[in-house]
Amino acid sequence: MACGVSLLPITAQADTLSAKGIDKDSAIITDGQGKVQSHTTDLTESGYHVSWHWSIPDQVKIKSGDTMQVEVPDNVMIPHALTFDILNSTGTVVGQANFAANSPTGTVTFNNELADKTLNRKGEIYIYASGKAIDDQLPSDWLINKSGWWESEQHNKINWNIALNPAQDHLGHVTLTDTLGAHQSYIPGSVQAQTGTWDDQGQFTPDGGTLDVTVSQKSDRSIQFDLANVKTGVNLQYQSKATGNPNGATYTNDVTLDADNLGDGDDDGMSRNQSSAQLSFGGGGTGDGDMDIKPDVPEKPTTPDQPVTPEKPAQPQDPVTPEKPVQPQQPVAPKKHNPKKQPKQVPSTQVPANHPQDTITSKSSEHATPANKKQPQHQQLPLTDVAKYSFLSLIGLVILSVTGTLYFKSHHK
């Protein structure tokens, strides 16, 4: 059983949205001339334009089936039931409005078109209504009156009515000049005129008679009706084709009477000889919104690593004092040559060719030496060469000592 319950479909409940601008006090009422009318004024005509500028608070979700209630001002009424679409800026239907005849409220039902839009949901709703204070009681001295109504629920054909001569005066030849408003045209052959009487409440009682009507169409929207001999009340009707938007167009009609005998009424001015009427039906509406597009949130920047504290540089080592250069030893003085002590010479019978002995001058001519007596032979460097070499060595040591001292001082300042 638990599983069966969990599988049942879940239907979202429709909500009544708390919209702004749809109460009766927020409605704007204008007449056929575009003049704004107060909500406390007694309105006695038809074709008033009533509008509301609605809005829904941000972030309030709208789903299919949700509704909002629109209040009708107390001094107007809706003579016919109205149904029309609510469109967005691209012409897409976002909802539908319904007003019942004579109802004090209307209902707008939304679809899913605004479900993904949560910002700036707003629009307009308008209808055409009649004043509640319409007085069917006509003035006692009226001569002509104009009215109109729709032929069918398609609202593409209008019946126009011209009532004249309630006093049943002998008017003679009567010419009616009728001017149709925009978005309509006369339907040829639709005119007929009955004779009879009119009472004070504007009710017509036919007497079974008719009048011949000559029709002259001056232009697409200007028609002239001629009646030969008028001496009773007359109820003349004809039809026009409505070509405008039935949910929003206002249709007007003006008529002027000219006759051979206008009678002895209290007011024979043109206001008594002309009449106007307007007819409107339906309504319309708009609605749109914006998507709540949130910008991408950038990633939180990572905390940079703390900089590494550089190691404290090692203290430079004290410079090593170079070892004191060793004083060069004093050159050893060469031993004095003792000429008395001669090295023994090994006798030789042959003397090499390069031997220094070759330089020795033989003195055999001065002293005869016995053949068997061995003579000591040696070579001795001259004293002057030894002294010269020792002096040069001493100068070299002095130069070496001075050079080392200068080098040491220049590198240890």
pTM (two decimals): 0.55
Q: Provide the 3-class DSSP secondary structure of residue 338.
A: coil
CB-CB contact of 47 with 30 (8 Å): no
Reading the block at residue 274, the tokens are: 């002309």
Reading the block at residue 261, the tokens are 């005998």
Q: What pLDDT is recorded for position 258?
A: 94
Phi, psi dihedral angles at 36 (to 5 degrees): -70, 135
- What structural domains does the chain harbor? 14-133 (2.60.40.1280), 144-280 (2.60.40.740)
Comparing CA positions, the residue from 246, 252, 29, 243 lying closest to residue 126 is: 29
pLDDT in tens, the chain (413 residues): 444 444 555 556 889 999 999 999 999 999 878 899 999 999 988 788 999 999 999 999 999 999 999 999 999 998 878 889 999 999 999 999 999 988 999 999 999 999 999 999 999 999 999 898 865 555 667 899 998 888 877 788 999 999 999 999 999 999 999 999 999 999 999 999 999 999 877 789 999 999 999 999 988 889 999 999 999 999 999 999 998 776 667 788 999 999 998 755 544 444 678 998 888 778 899 999 999 876 666 777 788 777 778 777 777 677 677 677 667 677 666 666 555 555 555 454 444 445 444 444 444 444 444 444 455 555 555 555 666 677 788 888 888 888 888 877 776 65
CA 163, 253, 105: angle at the middle one, nearest 5?
Answer: 100
Query: Are the beta carbons of 79 and 279 closer than 8 angstroms?
Result: no
The pLDDT value given to residue 52: 97
Query: 179 has which bridge partners?
Result: 222, 254
Phi, psi angle pair for 363, to nearest 5°: -110, 30
Contact indicator for 244, 150 with CB cutoff of 8 Å: no
**How would you class 318 by CB atoms within 10 Å of its CB: exposed for 0-12, middle for 13-18, buried for 19 or more?**
exposed
Q: What are phi and psi of 352, to 5 degrees?
A: -60, 155
* Residue type for position 240: S
pLDDT digits (tens, 9 = 90+) for 274-317: 998 888 778 899 999 999 876 666 777 788 777 778 777 777 67
| Tokens 């203290």, residue located | 315
Q: How far apart are CA 126 and CA 50, in angstroms?
A: 5
Phi, psi (deg, nearest 5) at residue 391: -70, -40
Task: Provide the pLDDT for residue 309.
Answer: 80
Query: What residues contact residue 190 under an 8 Å CB cut-off, 6+ apart?
Result: 237, 238, 239
Return d(Cα 359, Cα 20) in angstroms, integer. 146
Per-residue confidence (pLDDT) for residue 337, from 0 to 100: 56
In angstroms, the CA 111 to CA 287 distance is 12
Q: How far apart are CA 357 and CA 362, in angstroms?
A: 9
Task: State the DSSP string of 23-62.
Answer: SGGG-EEE-TTS-EE-TTS----S-EEEEEEEEE-TT---
